[in-house]
Amino acid sequence: MTAVIELDRLAKRYGAITALDDVTAAVDGNIIGLLGPNGAGKSTLLKALLGLVPYDGRARVLGLDAATRGAEIRDRVGYMPEHDALLAGMSAVELCTYAGELSGLPRTEALQRAHAALYYAGLEEKRYQPIDGYSTGMKQRVKLAQALVHDPELLFLDEPTNGLDPRSREDMLDLIVELPARRGCAIVLSTHLLPDVERVCDHAVIMHRGGVRFVGTIDELRGARGRDSELFVEVKADAAGLADALTAAGASCRVTSPVALQVDLPASATTLLVFQVARAAGLQVRELGVRRESVEAAFLRVIGDAAPEPVRGVGGAP
Amino acid sequence: MTAGQIHDLGYQRYVGSRRGVGTRWSVIMRHQIASAWRGWWRFKLWLIAAALATAAAAALLYLASGSLFRFLGGLSGQQIRFADGVLPLSTWLYCKVGFIVSLTTAATLVAGDVQSGAFTFYFARSVRPRDYVIGTLAGLCVLIAMIMLAGPVLLAGLRLGLSDNLDQVIALLPIVAKALAIGALGTLVYAAVPLGFSALIANRRNAMALWATYHVVVGWMAQGVAFVTTPEVGALDLSAALNAVSLNLFDVHLRMTDQSIPTSAAVISILGHAAAAIAVVSWRVRDAQRTGVGGSS
């Protein structure tokens, strides 16, 4: 089966600046988080995938070569930009109909699907009002609707929760989570908000300094360094007592609260050791699990040298 | 069940054919026309003004074709052909209306799209820079032509209709071609040139001010310089250039500064301005495509 995005030695240079440095990856999944610090090359990658900038190497989107079939790709891909990209003086339904027509839909079909997309985005009541008067949350919804109107198979969402209040952010994330099932499209979510990625994404691509540093599932990302021998343990009381007893049994422990500790088991031991030691010490284990990193911690680990980079100008390059 | 969920029940992926990429410009053209048509002040009001001007010119043309004027023409001992002069003289009026419409439609267009981020909206789809340029220009040309072209052609038609016999109709036929030529040049002046100015500055108001300044102030200055140097310089005043073409084509001789501009200089000025404007718009739009989608990097 063809991956959603395939990159083979993809390179893009702006003069002396390397925005993408021989990137090779095959990306698949329902909701893919595209992560990376500013200047990592995410925007350039998006442009290359949409066939908007020339590049070296090969990039395929939905099985189509981005260098030669950019227009076809853009008909099959929806793009929700980070910044306002709405036309002044139009209502939401007019804008979405126009967007559909520009993507090649016949006018009547575009109109019908504009209504459907606006319903999906939760703007059914406001769809005839001029967009100029919309709140930030409503504008985000219109941007989502205009990206959906031509029935894309792949959706690029660029910071979709930017500027939203917590309630609207939750609503937007709910819409995004449901999209693959309700509209049958894959999503590439470019964001700096790692909790959003943790909440909605099943796959992640991490970029740094023009290269791809990680491609895989979120579980792989969080567990990439975790092993079954790295545990978290919650006890009814006296975590310090259990830590002493486990240390005596050869484990290394770190008490994180009076009732919780992190445990690294010796190589030959299993989780049974924790229960045996706890029982011997007269302590009750309430919860035990494999210790996983947060996406944020995993991200920082993957990009490794997360120290501020020297300004390379990628963020402002054309 | 929410309205959205109910809608989902009827959802089916679109599998029909899509409009060819080469025809997307026509969608943009329709959008430009529809946008201008929305509300009164941008276009409709000025179209009515142009219609009133045409009606006044038509009334004058009708009267001028009557026996009284012919009698007066005969008395003067020269061929006044007042009726034939109505059409070229009306160009002056159409220029005024065309200029106002150019301010409300064309002069802010590209700048407005840059300001609102519309280029990201366009170029994330299968729209090429040339589709935007052609579609926008075509839309504006349709709008401006309703003022600059339709009026003169209607007057030319009326002039033919007021002919005494078929021989006169045949003799007067070239005025239709002349009216078309003047209308086409006028459409270029007030569609392409202000569009070019709107691409020079990424701010709607400033772009509008720049076009107004160029049209009015630079026009006056050009006329002043032409007065003391050579008449060709006066062709930089676009409305004067258009008037000159109109008067010269219809061979109407009046003591006007405009008429001192040679036709060739006027046509070269108009076409040169339009070509430069289209080049500027193309450059700006191509640049917007490269930098627009996916942020600035």
User: Between chains, do A151 and B13 touch, taking CB under 8 Å as contact?
Assistant: yes
Task: State the alpha helices, DSSP H only, in chain B.
Answer: 3-9, 24-37, 44-64, 67-75, 82-101, 109-116, 118-123, 129-148, 150-161, 166-172, 174-200, 204-213, 219-228, 238-249, 263-292
Interface probe for A, chosen from B1, B2, B5, B14 (most Cβ of A below 10 Å), is: B14
Contacts of A81 in chain B (CB under 8 A): 117, 120-121, 124, 293-294
> What is the pLDDT at residue B77?
43
Contacts of B16 in chain A (CB under 8 A): 106, 109
Tell me the pairing of strands A56-61 and A5-14: antiparallel
Q: How confident is the model at residue A314 (pLDDT cuts 50, 70, 90)?
A: very low
> What is the pLDDT at residue A85?
85
| Inter-chain Cβ pairs, chain A and chain B, closer than 8 A | 136
CA distance A303 to A206: 8
Contacts of B289 in chain A (CB under 8 A): 52
pLDDT tens string A154-191: 999 988 998 888 998 999 999 999 999 888 899 999 98
Q: Give burial (CB, 10 Å; 0-12/13-18/19+) of A191.
A: buried
Interface probe for B, chosen from A87, A94, A174, A207 (most Cβ of B below 10 Å), is: A87
Name the residue in chain B with its Cα closest to that of A121: B4
> What is the pLDDT at residue B294?
56
Beta strands in A97-202 (DSSP E): 154-158, 186-190
User: Between chains, do A103 and B27 touch, taking CB under 8 Å as contact?
Assistant: no
| pLDDT over threshold 50, residue A306 | no
* Pick from A128, A89, A85: nearest CA to B35: A89
> What is the pLDDT at residue B121?
92
> What is the pLDDT at residue B8?
67
pLDDT tens string B50-108: 999 999 999 988 887 776 666 665 555 444 466 678 888 899 999 999 999 999 999 99
Q: What is the DSSP letter of B102?
A: I
Element containing residue B20 per DSSP (H, E): none
Q: What is the 3-state secondary structure (H, E, C) of B165-214?
A: CHHHHHHHCHHHHHHHHHHHHHHHHHHHHHHHHHHHCCCHHHHHHHHHHH
Over residues A84-113, mean pLDDT: 93
Give me the half-sphere count of Cα atoms (radius 13 Å) on the Cβ side of residue B60: 18
> What is the pLDDT at residue A224?
53
Q: Which residue has the higher pLDDT, A69 or B260?
A: A69
Q: How confident is the model at residue A120 (pLDDT cuts 50, 70, 90)?
A: confident
Question: Is residue B150 within 8 Å of B97, Cβ to Cβ?
Answer: no
B18 touches chain A (CB under 8 A): yes
Name the residue in chain B with its Cα closest to that of A191: B294
Name the residue in chain B with its Cα closest to that of A148: B13
| pLDDT over threshold 60, residue A283 | yes
CA distances from A87 to A25, A99, A118, B65, B283 (A): 36, 10, 16, 50, 21
Phi, psi of A314 (to 5 degrees): -65, -40
> What is the pLDDT at residue A317?
34
Residues of chain B below pLDDT 50:
77-80, 296-297
> What is the pLDDT at residue B9?
67
Domains and CATH numbers, chain A: 5-223+299-303 (3.40.50.300), 230-291 (3.30.70)
> What is the pLDDT at residue A41?
87
Over residues A50-61, mean pLDDT: 90
* Pick from B187, B174, B146: nearest CA to B249: B174
The ipTM value here is 0.88
Q: How confident is the model at residue A316 (pLDDT cuts 50, 70, 90)?
A: very low
Name the residue in chain A with its Cα closest to that of B6: A119
> What is the pLDDT at residue B82?
67
How far is A292 from chain B, CA to nearest CA, in Å?
Answer: 32
pLDDT tens string B224-246: 999 889 999 999 999 999 999 99
Name the residue in chain B with its Cα closest to that of A83: B117
